[in-house]
Amino acid sequence: MTKRLILLSLVLSTCLLVLGLGAHASGAGVLEAGSQRNTPKGEGVIVAMGNSLTAGYGISESEAYPALLQKQLAVDGYACRVVNAGISGETSSGALSRVQWILTLKPDIVILETGANDGFRGIDPVLVEKNIDETVRILHESGATVVLAGMQIVRNLGKEYTDAFNAIYPRVAQKHGVILIPFFLEGVAGEPELNQADTIHPTARGYEIITKTVYPYVVKAIEKRKAKGPQNP
């Protein structure tokens, strides 16, 4: 097994170790990223929904990818408010259970990053896909533009499981016509210098790379909404 695959396995496993650290399914502790208080109303709300990889476990709020994303959007002239709705340890079942709460934030765009903890536990890919599919369906039908963050599982669980899991994200994205990020941790997983001392959670530099990975897909979502015209006249 290569270094990349071993460390990616650790990334997935440690998401479970932080389960419950400041996390509440009600959404307590959800933070708006960056300087959102200065963002004009009506310019769009982006909700980053996910587990510790979204929450930014082990680093400051300003270093997590939602905050970096908002800063880069502002630089490029997109006045959006980005909300960090990451909860450490969350599984796809947890994401589905709080999707209605996410909708109370009135998101225009939702970046959905979930499933890594399910993969580590070896949860049946059929159930994982059902949860992600239903979460995406609810978000999509609410009028939110969904950006689905793909995850990948290493082959220590066997080729059959790995292939079934990795196929979930492109299949769900295609079914609902939503935007897919092929691999959320591209360029970061398995790179010691881009992860914290635990060799698992991304460092501030790691999150800079994640932001660069996510950014073009978010811009695509913004432009997609603009093309549709006003959503709430």
Give me the active site residues, please: 52, 198, 201
What's the Cα-to-Cα distance from 97 to each of 81, 105, 114, 214, 217, rounded to whole Å? 24, 15, 12, 25, 25
User: Residue length, the chain?
Assistant: 233
Per DSSP, helices labelled H in 29-183 are 52-55, 65-75, 92-97, 99-103, 116-121, 125-141, 159-166, 168-176
Cα R_g (the chain), whole angstroms: 16
Query: Contact 87/94 with Cβ under 8 angstroms?
Result: yes
Contacts of 80 (CB under 8 A, 6+ apart): 39, 43, 44, 45, 46, 70, 73, 108, 109, 222
Helix (H) or strand (E) holding 155: none
Helix axes 168-176, 125-141, angle to 10 degrees: 30
